[in-house]
Amino acid sequence: MSVMQASISHFTLENLQVHPISIQMAVARSTQPKISFSGLVDQHIKESMVRLSVALKDRGLSLPKDHVTIHFTPAIYEKKGSDYDLALALGLLNLFGFIPRIPKNLIFLSELGLNGDLNGSDHFLAFYHHILQHHPDHILVTSLEIHSWLEQNHAPCRQVISFENLSEVIMWIKKTPHPQLPNKSETPIQQTIPKANLSPLKEVHGLNKSKLALLTSLISQTPLLFIGSPGVGKTLLITQAKHLLPPLSFNTWLEGQLLTNIRDQKNIHFSPPFRTPHYQASPEAFTGTYHRGKWIPGEFSLANGGILFLDELPHFKPQVLEALRTPLEERVFLLSRAHFHARLPAEFTLLSAMNPCPCGYFFVDPCACTCTHRQISTYLSRLSGPIRERFGIIHFVVPKEELTTFSEYPIDSICCLGNLRNQFGKTFQQQVLTESFKNWYTSHNHSIKTPFTYLNKRSVRHMTKIALALSLLREAETPNEHDWSLAWEFQNAHTCFTEITL
């Protein structure tokens, strides 16, 4: 009895992570036709053989009636769905000698119709993101439908080859047994969003210090909390922030979407997300859920690359506020459910707002405030110490903010923060800035009185970021005296909480 073998590379998606796998096939001469599967495959894959037989027969390719064993390795990961149809068809054709051996850098990704047409793929975005990140020499072979979707959305297509049907793929493999990628490197095209020449912040009158706090937060991606009475303009100001962000790169967009189904996608929107969940939203609405094998992204993922705005911050559920801690610190969050664990990107800037007391008028006019000290204290205590510490900038928005003090910062003429953000990424050096901050701090020791070593590491990091963002706004690369004083002020509003809640 002779045994023939074939092998074809592929991927699988488990726990929202892509793993490379190999589909191995072996045939043993037998009088009874039979196909056996192993390696944790689901019913969809087993049923695919019925479709494949019809599609192959339709092309005049009848497979010998032998015993074929198909093993997906490594067997520890689950393999699901109809994405493997095309790979299985080509593996079988290679196994029986109809086509040459298939190179390891080709990934065939498409469902097959009964007539042999390539019908798209469920996990295309996840696998595509994976090869863009980790396998620059791999080629995804898929349907025309997916290719044209990528082209329409100006996505990089260098590693994607598409065909209409199985016959075309077979002809291509026969003609090109060792396909190579074109040498020309392709840079992802950024979608441009027409921008007004007017600064979005100019629409809001006054509030210069609040505008400065907002710009600083957006450049350095430092979480910001505005505290102010109703109608003072804090929400209006934050709403303008979405117009200041640069459009998303395709890669950032993909990162946020990689786990969704390509069949759910119509057009990509490159405008940076501006998410405003209600305070009654559940913790799952933020983290996302995994239901019946389908990933439903939450606010942390939906805000990736943009802004998450939490208005009325103390009213959010304590579990939601606690869940914010990891994404704010590490720019990713961990999703942990029974049999399901994933690490997901959460690159957003957190902007939030709240009233100073339950009635809202504490800072405007203490006489107008009807709250007792106990009520105010209970209200502010809803934000725990660890949560408050995550806010690098806490700023009290008051109607009569100084108008002239900040003339060195071009607050009202900034239209987009794209360049400043890039500059921030290139120039931020924690150690150098910490030294610079230490010098400033020591020279002001007489007024501050706490030794530098007593400072919390997180607040030092926040302050260095804020000071650098302020200096970049002035078109300088090193913070000056004024930048450090402002950074200190923005960071030290924390103490007000402590004083009031005592």
177 φ, ψ (degrees, to nearest 5): -65, -20
Q: Is 227 in the site for Zn ion (CB under 5 A)?
A: no
Strand partners, 350: 308
Which residue number, 11 or 362, has a Cβ lying nearer to Zn ion? 362
Q: Is 469 in the site for Zn ion (CB under 5 A)?
A: no
97 DSSP assignment: T
Which residue number, 175 or 374, has a Cβ lying nearer to Zn ion? 374
Both tokens of 293, joined, read 């094998």
Neighbours of 111 (CB within 10 A): 20
User: Given strand 106-108, what is the order of strands in its sheet?
Assistant: 106-108, 139-143, 160-163
Pairing of strands 67-73, 17-28: antiparallel
Q: Is 150 in the site for Zn ion (CB under 5 A)?
A: no
Q: Is 321 in the site for Zn ion (CB under 5 A)?
A: no
Q: Is 380 in the site for Zn ion (CB under 5 A)?
A: no
Q: Which stretch binds Zn ion (CB under 5 A): 196-204, 303-311, 362-370, 462-470?
A: 362-370
Closest CA to 236 of 218, 217, 210: 210
Question: In the complex, what is the shortest distance from the CB of residue 230 to Zn ion, in angstroms, rounded to a whole number?
Answer: 11
Binding residues for Zn ion, rule CB under 5 A, total: 5
Q: Is 295 in the site for Zn ion (CB under 5 A)?
A: no
Q: Which stretch binds Zn ion (CB under 5 A): 28-36, 176-184, 280-288, 371-379?
A: 371-379
Both tokens of 251, joined, read 């890669």
412 DSSP assignment: G
Name 271's Cβ contacts closer than 8 Å, sequence gap at least 6. 193, 242, 247, 248
Residue 100, SS3?
coil
Which residue number, 91 or 356, has a Cβ lying nearer to Zn ion? 356
180-219 positions binding Zn ion, by CB under 5 A = none
Question: In the complex, what is the shortest distance from the CB of residue 399 to Zn ion, in angstroms, rounded to a whole number?
Answer: 16
Q: Which stretch binds Zn ion (CB under 5 A): 99-107, 158-166, 369-377, 408-416?
A: 369-377
Q: Is 369 in the site for Zn ion (CB under 5 A)?
A: yes
Which residue number, 357 or 473, has a Cβ lying nearer to Zn ion? 357
Q: Which stretch binds Zn ion (CB under 5 A): 52-60, 350-358, 414-422, 435-443?
A: 350-358
Which residue number, 76 or 368, has a Cβ lying nearer to Zn ion? 368
Q: Is 463 in the site for Zn ion (CB under 5 A)?
A: no
Pairing of strands 332-337, 289-291: unpaired
Question: In the complex, what is the shortest distance from the CB of residue 389 to Zn ion, in angstroms, rounded to a whole number?
Answer: 25
Q: Which stretch binds Zn ion (CB under 5 A): 345-353, 363-371, 429-437, 460-468?
A: 363-371
Which residue number, 140 or 369, has a Cβ lying nearer to Zn ion? 369
324 DSSP assignment: T
Q: Considering Cα of 54, then 56, then 59, then 60, what sign does the dihedral take? A: negative
Among 26, 359, 364, 500, binds Zn ion (CB under 5 A): 359
Name 96's Cβ contacts closer than 8 Å, sequence gap at least 6. 4, 27, 63, 64
Which residue number, 249 or 375, has a Cβ lying nearer to Zn ion? 375
Q: Is 285 in the site for Zn ion (CB under 5 A)?
A: no
Q: Which amino acid is at 243?
A: H
Q: Considering Cα of 141, then 147, then 149, then 152, what sign does the dihedral take? A: positive
Q: Is 357 in the site for Zn ion (CB under 5 A)?
A: yes
Question: In the complex, what is the shortest distance from the CB of residue 377 to Zn ion, in angstroms, rounded to a whole number?
Answer: 12
Calpha distance 120→150 (Å, rounded): 12
Question: In the complex, what is the shortest distance from the CB of residue 450 to Zn ion, in angstroms, rounded to a whole number?
Answer: 31
Calpha distance 469→474 (Å, rounded): 9
Q: Is 281 in the site for Zn ion (CB under 5 A)?
A: no
Q: Is 232 in the site for Zn ion (CB under 5 A)?
A: no
Among 93, 371, 380, 433, binds Zn ion (CB under 5 A): 371
112 DSSP assignment: B
How distant, in Å, are the alpha carbons of 197, 268, 277, 289, 291 from that of 338? 51, 32, 26, 12, 12
Q: Footprint of Zn ion on this chain (CB under 5 A)?
A: 357, 359, 362, 369, 371
